[in-house]
Amino acid sequence: MTVFGMGKHGNVGVKTQGFATPLERLRDVDVAVIGGGPAGLAAALGASRAGAEVVILERGKRLGGILNQCIHDGFGLALYKESISGPEYAERLMDDVGREGIRVETGAMVLDLSADKILRVNSRSGYSLVRAKSVVLAMGCRERTRDMIEIPGDRPAGVWTAGTAQNLVNLQNLRLGNEIVILGSGDIGLIMARRLTFEGMKVKGVFEILPWVGGLERNVRQCLSDFSIPLELTTTVVDICGRDRLSSVVVSRVDEALKPLAGTEREIPCDTLLLSVGLIPENELSKRAGVELSPATGGAVVDEMFMTSVPGVFSCGNVLQIHDVADWASFEGFVAGKNAALHARGEIPTRGTIVRITPGAGVRYALPQIVRRSAAGVDLHFRVTAPRRNVWIEARGSASGTIFFRRKFPRLLPSELQKIKLTTAIDEDLEVAAHD
Ligand SMILES: Cc1cc2nc3c(=O)[nH]c(=O)nc-3n(C[C@H](O)[C@H](O)[C@H](O)COP(=O)(O)OP(=O)(O)OC[C@H]3O[C@@H](n4cnc5c(N)ncnc54)[C@H](O)[C@@H]3O)c2cc1C
């Protein structure tokens, strides 16, 4: 257990009556933050600066989350106005957490969360319960695997998800193989194409089933084009070959329905296949607490304060929606944490009339999905379903047709999370849509 500070108000470690066994310890806290990545660290800072006693519970050995394995730069452009590496970005937030005297427990896995905000925690010091007035969910995400995308073929060694490969190469100094194929053009796959090239491996190509790239354009330029690594769109892996070790993959073009086109198959010899085929918000604990999830984001349905359908439970970062850049996960964290502190003091009403925001034509999702009727100045996130040029984004009242937001964007990509501000108070349900 790592303790950076004893907390502003000290911690209690008492045995409980009723719901705890004699071996369980109960601690009361204003705000419990689950996960110590860029979202969780920012949430803890937001809550502590708003006057709450906070504990961060992180299952890993150290804070920082996924940032620890992201040794490339490109982090911090929005938050710190400079380009720094993932570990440096994490360190800045950790320094602030230390200065703030926030209690941190690493090696502390939250096993369960109830709707009344009792957390069951397994840590090196034993099994304990934390009873929080507010909880911030900041558990990040996990990668989609081969099984989830159903690639047929042999099951040899040498097939990795890109994030696991990044961990093995960057943190454990392991060499994965010699000849690499990457399926999926998400940011992790693009970044790993460059990283493995630096490590002396031959990246034979990045293949993407969709007609557009899944990651950021800057990553295509800096990670593929600059190293002459081929990128093939509308192409997927249809077979994996090799008895013990991967020996080749078969790629095929796909049609508009993303089905392989017969006769376009091509075998590529390789000993390693990386999969960068999507991220899934890690919401098992949220489900245990009864939090309503959105099928579009895979994360919680939240209001403009990032509060979920369970009063006092907030969500931010990749567990809420997959972020392209860590800064936005942190910005969400600061707001969610501050509101969690306000809720802990009873300053946020948990009920009341609400309006719903739903995605319309050309928009994959809009977030928050719920807004309190009186709110003005709401920040609205959205993603488009496909690349668009010279497109109008409109937020329109579903009943009256009133336009609450309208702006022309020169270019929008599904890979880029967009944020707009609704400056007027919203008093009816809204639909956010993209129009030519
Ligand atoms: C490979 C890769 C490259 C990237 N490159 C960039 C880049 O160049 N620039 C940029 O700005 N962004 C980049 N990003 C995006 C950015 O890193 C993420 O958006 C950001 O890390 C998300 O932060 P998070 O706190 O939500 O999640 P995470 O960083 O994943 O942190 C979640 C934390 O929660 C902990 N946790 C989960 N479940 C539990 C539990 N039950 N109990 C206790 N703890 C738990 C995890 O151990 C983890 O530490 C990259 C992401 C990846 C994966």
What CATH class does 354-435 carry?
A: mainly beta
Contact by Cβ (8 Å): 39, 333: yes
Residue 28 has pLDDT above 90, yes or no: yes
The residue with greater pLDDT, 355 or 25, is: 355
State the Cα–Cα distance between residues 382 and 242, nearest whole angstrom.
Answer: 42
pLDDT, tens only, 252-288: 999 999 999 999 999 999 999 999 999 999 999 999 9
Is the pLDDT score of 240 beyond 50? yes
Condensed to tens digits (0 to 9), the pLDDT of residues 350-367 reads 666 789 999 999 999 999
CA of 402 to the centre of ligand 1 (A): 38
- Residue 263 buriedness (CB in 10 A; 0-12 / 13-18 / 19+): exposed
Query: The domain 145-277 belongs to what CATH superfamily?
Result: FAD/NAD(P)-binding domain (3.50.50.60)
How far apart, in Å, do the first and last CA atoms of the chain sit?
A: 55
Global pTM reads: 0.92
pLDDT over threshold 70, residue 232 = yes
What is the Å distance from ligand 1's center to 67 Cα?
6
Instruction: Indicate which atom in ligand 1 lies nearest the CA of residue 57.
Output: 43
Report pLDDT for 350.
65
> CA–CA separation, 387 vs 404, rounded Å?
24
Q: Quote the pLDDT of residue 427.
A: 84
Structure tokens at 205: 């190509």
Kindly give the distance from the C-alpha atom of residue 167 to the centroid of ligand 1, in angstroms, as a whole number.
12
pLDDT at 398 over 70: yes
Q: What whole-number percentage of the chain has pLDDT above 70? A: 93
Close Cβ partners of 119 (under 8 Å, ≥ 6 residues apart): 32, 34, 57, 110, 112, 113, 129, 130, 131, 132, 135
**Residues lining ligand 1, judged by CB closer than 6 Å?**
34-40, 57-60, 65-67, 70, 72, 74-75, 109-110, 138-140, 163, 166, 187-188, 191, 282, 285, 317-319, 323, 325-327, 329
CATH, domain range 25-142+280-344 = 3.50.50.60
Tokens of residue 354, six digits:
């609400």
Please state the rounded mean pLDDT for residues 185-203.
95
pLDDT for the residue numbered 21: 52
Where does 16-85 have alpha helices with state H? 38-49
Q: Which of 139, 166, 315 has the most ligand 1 atoms within 8 A of CB, as the residue to mutate? A: 139
The pLDDT of 338-357, averaged and rounded, is 88
Q: What contacts 218, CB < 8 A, 6 or more positions away?
A: 74
pLDDT at 351: 66
Same fold, 25-142+280-344 and 145-277: yes
- Ranking 8-12, 162-166, 406-410, 425-429 by mean pLDDT, the lowest is 8-12
Confidence of residue 229 (pLDDT cuts 50, 70, 90): very high
User: Other C-beta atoms within 10 Å of 84: how many?
Assistant: 17
In the predicted structure, residue 429 carries a pLDDT above the cut 60: yes
pLDDT of residue 195: 97
305-332 pLDDT, tens per residue?
999 999 999 999 999 999 989 999 999 9
- Predicted local confidence at residue 373, as pLDDT: 64
- Distance from the CA of 326 to the center of ligand 1, in angstroms? 8
Question: Ligand 1, closest atom to CA 108?
Answer: 43
What residue type is 70 in one-letter code? C
36 CA to middle of ligand 1, Å?
Answer: 9
pLDDT band at 1 (very low <50, low <70, confident <90, very high): very low
Per-residue confidence (pLDDT) for residue 24, from 0 to 100: 63
Q: Distance, CA 414 to ligand 1 centroid (Å)?
A: 20
- Domain boundaries in the chain? 25-142+280-344, 145-277, 354-435
pLDDT of residue 197 exceeding 70, the answer is yes
Q: DSSP letter for 67, please.
A: G
Q: Give the CA radius of gyration of the chain.
A: 23
